[in-house]
């Protein structure tokens, strides 16, 4: 009978540990999702765009084009700077109303 009680106790402790880990991860991912959701809603609300994957992808592409313009400016390439700036502004102005 003692071995049954021992294994029952081990099972309870193992189950409690697994439950704690699952609850902790659930809390972590829930708060992480809430933070990401708030960030995306704030960003899209400030820019006046929809909070869709497509809009966010176009936003990232436009910002990447402006980043390429800054890099071209640092390389002292005026034609590339103007080209990337115009493309980035066109993409972002198409997205932001």
Please give the average per-residue pLDDT across 51-61, as a whole number.
Answer: 93
Measure the CA–CA gap between 55 and 93, rounded to whole angstroms.
12
Question: Tens of pLDDT along 2-14?
Answer: 667 888 999 999 9
Residue boundaries of the structural domains of the chain = 1-47, 50-97
Please give the pLDDT value at position 1: 53
Question: Tens of pLDDT along 58-84?
Answer: 999 999 999 999 999 999 999 999 999
3-state secondary structure of 66: helix
């Amino acid at each position: 009978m003692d071995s049954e009680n021992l294994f029952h106790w081990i099972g309870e402790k193992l189950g409690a540990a697994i439950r704690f880990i699952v609850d902790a991860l659930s809390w972590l991912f829930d708060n992480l999702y809430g933070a990401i959701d708030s960030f995306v809603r704030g960003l899209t609300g400030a820019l006046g765009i929809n909070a869709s994957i497509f809009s966010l992808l176009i936003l990232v592409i436009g910002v990447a084009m402006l980043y390429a313009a800054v890099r071209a400016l640092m390389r002292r390439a005026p034609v590339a700077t103007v080209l990337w700036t115009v493309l980035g502004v066109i993409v972002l102005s198409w997205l932001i109303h």
